[in-house]
């Protein structure tokens, strides 16, 4: 305690904050209680995944259904994973999902970063009209556009049942343009004016000066778009039908109808598809937080 009282003498202003941080018996008890709350909430959050994993590992001697429920398999086996991989080309689904999500995440952020720059930093006729038109499209539910987009895919673009059909309609997002416009606005005008005085063209300014400055926002938007695209279901389920050409969520939904009674196999399929995106989330976690926090600042 002596260093704390020293601190109070040296920095009287900080007394309040120090007092709160000093570990006291009461605080240890209260942090113990908080851990109980946190663990309880974590169990609620994780339990459905845990139950899936355990079901997928159950062997022939373990009941998938019993009263009371059996949590840990006594006879664990990977047989269910073998069955599901035999019936569905899950590695292919994975590659398809990856192609789609990388294209959509990467190109969407590029298109949005291009559109956001003039909206944030240039003055030109029609700027406000374009901006408000973009905002208006945010309100329109995407599902509203699916019937005409379906017709376009079949009759005009002829990409029905191919991956481009789930890439092209998702290459633009008014929401991403809006987020990146906020990022560009935080850059001082002097910097851009200085570059213009030095004779740099707008494209060069955009590419070599501005994009590196907003790299954290670009990463957050790209990662968000990647995950959204990875998990997208309704539109891909309308477009993709060839068994080898499905994305993971569409393939997973097919699994449900193929294995009505084989819960071990369904559980194995769900587990295989959830693990990669969870690993990805662990790696890029901080960008999620930044992206979500940044969305509200404006």
Partner 1 sequence: MTRKRSITPYTFLLPALALLGIFVVYPIIAVVYYSFTDYDIVRPPVWVGLDNYAKLIDDPTFWTALTNSIVYLLVTPILIFLSICLAIIVNRRLRGIHIFRALYFVPAVSGSIAIGLAWRWLFERNGFINSTLLSWGVIQTPVQWLATPQLTLPIAMLLTIWAGVGYYSVIFLAGLQNIPEELYDAARIDGCNDFQKHRYVSLPGLRPQIVFVAVISSLAALKVFDEIYVLTNRTGGILDSGVTMVFYLWKQAFQLDQAGYASAIAMALLAVTLVFSIFNVRILERGQSEDAT
Q: Judged by CB under 8 A, does residue 141 bind partner 1? A: yes
Contacts of 46 (CB under 8 A, 6+ apart): none
DSSP symbol at 22 = S
Smallest gap from residue 248 Cβ to partner 1 (A): 8
Q: Judged by CB under 8 A, does residue 204 bind partner 1? A: no
For residue 63, whether the previous peptide bond is cis, meaning omega lies within 30 degrees of 0, is no
Q: Is 217 helix (H, G, I), strand (E, B) or coil?
A: helix
| Helix 174-185 / helix 90-121 crossing angle, nearest 10 deg | 50
Q: Judged by CB under 8 A, does residue 208 bind partner 1? A: no
- Residue tagged 């990409």 (tokens): 159
Interface segment toward partner 1; rule CB under 8 A; list 1-9, 85-93, 213-221, 224-232: 224-232
Measure the CA–CA gap between 262 and 79, rounded to whole angstroms. 12
Q: Judged by CB under 8 A, does residue 99 bind partner 1? A: no
The values of phi and psi at residue 233, to 5°, are -125, -50
Q: Judged by CB under 8 A, does residue 31 bind partner 1? A: yes
For partner 1, the closer of residues 215 and 241 by Cβ is 241
Q: Judged by CB under 8 A, does residue 233 bind partner 1? A: yes
Measure the CA–CA gap between 26 and 30, rounded to whole angstroms. 6
Interface segment toward partner 1; rule CB under 8 A; list 3-11, 80-88, 172-180, 210-218: 172-180
Q: Judged by CB under 8 A, does residue 22 bind partner 1? A: no
Q: Judged by CB under 8 A, does residue 147 bind partner 1? A: yes
Q: Judged by CB under 8 A, does residue 219 bind partner 1? A: no
Smallest gap from residue 123 Cβ to partner 1 (A): 5
Size of the site for partner 1 (CB under 8 A): 96
Alpha-carbon distances of 188 from 115, 173, 289, rounded to whole Å: 18, 25, 25
Q: Judged by CB under 8 A, does residue 288 bind partner 1? A: yes
Residues in contact with partner 1, shown as a per-residue x/- string from 44 to 83 under the rule CB under 8 A: xxx-xx-xx--x--------xxxxxx--------------
The values of phi and psi at residue 86, to 5°, are -65, -40
């Amino acid at each position: 305690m002596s260093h704390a009282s020293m601190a109070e003498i040296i920095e009287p202003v900080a007394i309040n904050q120090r007092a709160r941080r000093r570990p006291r018996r009461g605080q240890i008890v209260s942090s113990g209680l908080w851990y109980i709350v946190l663990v309880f909430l974590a169990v609620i959050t994780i339990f459905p995944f845990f139950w899936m994993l355990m079901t997928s590992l159950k062997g022939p001697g373990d009941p998938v259904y019993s009263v009371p429920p059996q949590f840990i398999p006594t006879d664990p086996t990977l047989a269910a994973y073998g069955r599901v991989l035999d019936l569905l080309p899950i590695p292919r689904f994975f590659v398809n999902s990856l192609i789609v999500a990388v294209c959509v995440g990467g190109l969407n952020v590029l298109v949005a970063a291009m559109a956001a720059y003039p909206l944030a930093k240039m003055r030109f006729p029609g700027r406000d009209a374009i901006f408000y038109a973009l905002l208006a499209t945010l309100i329109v539910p995407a599902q509203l556009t699916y019937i005409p987009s379906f017709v376009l895919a079949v009759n005009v673009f002829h990409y029905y049942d191919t991956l481009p059909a789930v890439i092209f309609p998702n290459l633009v997002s008014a929401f991403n343009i809006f987020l990146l416009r906020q990022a560009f606005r935080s850059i001082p005008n002097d910097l851009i004016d200085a570059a213009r005085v030095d004779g740099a063209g707008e494209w060069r300014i955009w590419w070599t000066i501005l994009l590196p400055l907003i790299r954290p926002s670009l990463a957050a938007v790209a990662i968000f778009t990647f995950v959204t695209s990875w998990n997208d279901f309704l539109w891909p389920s309308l477009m993709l039908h060839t068994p080898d050409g499905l994305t993971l969520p569409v393939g997973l939904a097919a699994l449900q109808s193929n294995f009505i009674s084989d819960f071990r196999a369904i559980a194995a399929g769900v587990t295989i598809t959830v693990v990669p995106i969870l690993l990805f989330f662990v790696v890029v976690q901080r960008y999620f937080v930044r992206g979500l926090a940044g969305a509200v600042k404006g």
